[in-house]
Structure 1
Amino acid sequence: MLPSQVRLFVACLGLKAALGEASRLRIRQDVVTVTQTIVSPVPQPSVYDWAAGATTAYPIHSSCNATERALLSRGLGEAVALAAHAKDHILRFGNSSEFYSKYFGASPTAEVVGWYDKIVSADRSGIWFRCDDADGNCSQDGWAGHWRGENGTQETVICPLSYTTRQPLEGLCGYGYSVAGGALNFYFGSDLVHRLYHLPKIGEGIVEHYADTYGECLELALRDPALAARNSHTLQYFALDVYAFDIAVPGEGCTGRPSEPGDPDTTAGTTPSATTTAATECHTHADGTEHCS
């Protein structure tokens, strides 16, 4: 038999082991229930974006190289600047502006403002400015560009001649230029104003050629103000005249006087003449007719 001390020690060990086992059993038996609340995302109503899908810049076709793209992009920006200021001038002065009454007579201002705003703010989706001479007209003498007509109603081709003869808007009133005596296409921006109005999305087939020369445009303002408000050249002349007076040479401008047959060129050397540049340039109209100016 084991001594009493040994038996007591063994008994204690057994008791301790039993207590430990019981403790472990209790730990395993103490189940903790965790409740997790999962909140399903609430579907959010789609927000209506009225301007979704709009094209805010005039698209330039991949047929234009880097140089053509840069010059054309700048020219289009200048066309927008001319139209934007023409609109702002009318909104500021209304028909009390001497420039307005000279070019548009008694025509209400709202329609004229609208035609300028079409260039500034209209959606440009579907419009293309190309450089690839898709219709073979750039190879003809004097063609600096043309509206494609039935071949592409929202497309305009800009020929190489435009990039070598058009001047930047910063030069308005320079080079011996005057609004009355100069060519409307002497500056790239004013030329592109004309070309934009040929596009149905901008001119809607309403802005057309009802008078051409400076004198004819002034006469149209007196004879038929409603047509003056829709005359492509009148819209160009007004935009150039008020930009020259308000921005280029503030308070002075460069309206000038109409050039007369036999007038000498106002510039010399290799600089293009403001009165003769592109005098025989041609383009097509919405009805398919060819117009040379």
Structure 2
Amino acid sequence: MMFKSTAAAMLLFGVASATPIQGRAEASTTKSASTSSPTSAYDWSEGWTKDYPIHQSCNATLRHQLSNALDETVQLAQHAKDHILRYGHKSEFVQKYFGNGSTAQPIGWYDRVVNADKTGMLFRCDDPDKNCATQDAWAGHWRGDNATSETVICPLSFQIRRNLDSVCNLGYTVANSKLNTFWATDLLHRVLHVPVISEETVDHFAENYTDALALAKKDPSKSAIDSDALQYFAIDVWAYDIAAPGKGCTGEVEEEEEEEKPTATKADSSKPSATKEAPKECHTHDDGVVHCS
């Protein structure tokens, strides 16, 4: 009888002592599975930088102003893209600036301004090339061969650029006012110089409003990659759709009257002219050509 009780006790002890070992093994297996899963995860968007990087040379005030300006540039480009997607060639603005060419290219350029990876790009407020200090009325420049992904913004820009909430105010018209009146159009121009955005395809084929309109009729394939056409379209549809809905402020090109210049005499040749041409804002292209506006 005692033998049977002892045998039963030993069997129960064996089962009891075996149970924790099995539990530990299961726990170990579960832990191993959980730690291995993160290492196999893949995030295709990791490292995608959509915001425009700003250099440490911009102090807190300049950084805030420039950051807002870049945000408005993105808003301007986004709306330009949305307008084309909404209306296509039914839009008189699309016909006006891009003719009968495909809308896919301008849509693509605006989308690159908004969504392309900006890794490596840099906006800076110092003056590494000394253009701000040495060039008259210099508001900024793409650094070109010195640093193809960098853009310098000079103090003058922070003094004179306007925000998009003033479009169609203070006498502004698309046809007659400076294209770089606003931060958004000025910076749209500047980012289209940077190969990260332009893929070395967007260029200057028109130099002003009338040139841009003529190019759309003559060679719409060039309009789709023309920096001025992309800027003019963006600000014109912003004015019509957002700033002054249904009205806009395109304006009409004002013809400049040619005045007959009097012949200078010895007596008055040393006197300063009564009218003096306003200084122009200039920047240098990658081929060394200086572009002024």
Task: Identify the TM-score tier after normalising by the shorter chain.
Answer: 0.7 to 0.9
The residue matched to 1:161 in structure 2 has which SS? helix
1:144-198 alpha-carbon deviations (Å, 9 max, x no partner):
0000011100000000000000001110111110001111110011100000000
Task: Please say which structure displays the higher CA radius of gyration.
Answer: 1
Q: Distance in 1 between matches of 2:58 and 2:48?
A: 23
Select 2:166's aligned residue among 167, 171, 189.
171
1:108 is aligned, of 102, 106, 113, to 102
- Residue in structure 2 matching 1:251, options 239, 243, 246: 246
Measured after TM superposition, the shift of residue 104 of structure 1 is 0.6
**Matched residue, 2:192:** 197
- Give the secondary structure class of the aligned counterpart of 1:201: helix
The answer to whether the Cα contact below 8 Å between 2:212 and 2:223 also exists between their aligned partners in 1 is yes
Q: Return the alpha-carbon distance in structure 2 between the equivalents of residues 202 and 130 of structure 1.
A: 17
Q: Identity over aligned residues, as a percent?
A: 53
Q: Which residue of 2 aligns with 1:78?
A: 72
User: 1:9 — aligned with what?
Assistant: none
* Contact preservation (8 Å) 1:244, 1:250: yes
The residue that corresponds to 1:135 in the other structure is: 129
Shift in alpha-carbon separation, 1:222–1:279, aligned structure 2, 3 A: farther
Shift of 1:54: 1.2
Distance 2:50 2:153 in 1: 20
Q: Which amino acid aligns with 2:255?
A: E
- What's the C-alpha RMSD, in Å, of the aligned pairs? 1.8
Instruction: State how many pairs are aligned.
Output: 251
Matches within 5 A, 1:45-124: 46-124=40-118
Aligned to 1:225: 220
Provide TM-score, normalisation by structure 2: 0.82
The residue identity in structure 1 corresponding to 2:46 is: A
Q: How far, CA to CA, are the matches of 2:241 and 2:118 in structure 1? A: 28
Does structure 2 conserve the Cα–Cα contact (< 8 Å) formed by 1:183 and 1:279?
A: no
> What is the alpha-carbon distance in structure 1 between the residues aligned to residue 52 and residue 126 of structure 2?
17
| 2:244 maps to 1:237 | no
Cα deviations across residues 119-153 of structure 1 (Å, max 9, x unaligned)?
Answer: 01101100000011110000111110000011100
Counterpart of 2:283 in structure 1 is 283
Residue 285 of structure 1, CA deviation: 1.3
Provide the C-alpha distance between the structure 2 equivalents of 1:253 and 1:287, rounded to a whole number of angstroms: 36
CA distance in 2, matches of 1:77, 1:237: 18
Residues 138 and 282, structure 2, Cα contact 8 Å, conserved in 1: yes
What is residue 267 of structure 2 aligned with on the other side? Answer: none
Bigger fraction of residues in helix: 2
> Tell me, what secondary structure is at the counterpart of 1:198?
coil
User: Which residue of structure 2 aligns with residue 292 of structure 1?
Assistant: 292
Query: Which AA in structure 2 matches 1:234?
Result: A
Pairwise CA distance, 1:279: 5.9
Map of 1:156 onto structure 2: 151
Question: SS at 1:35's partner residue?
Answer: helix
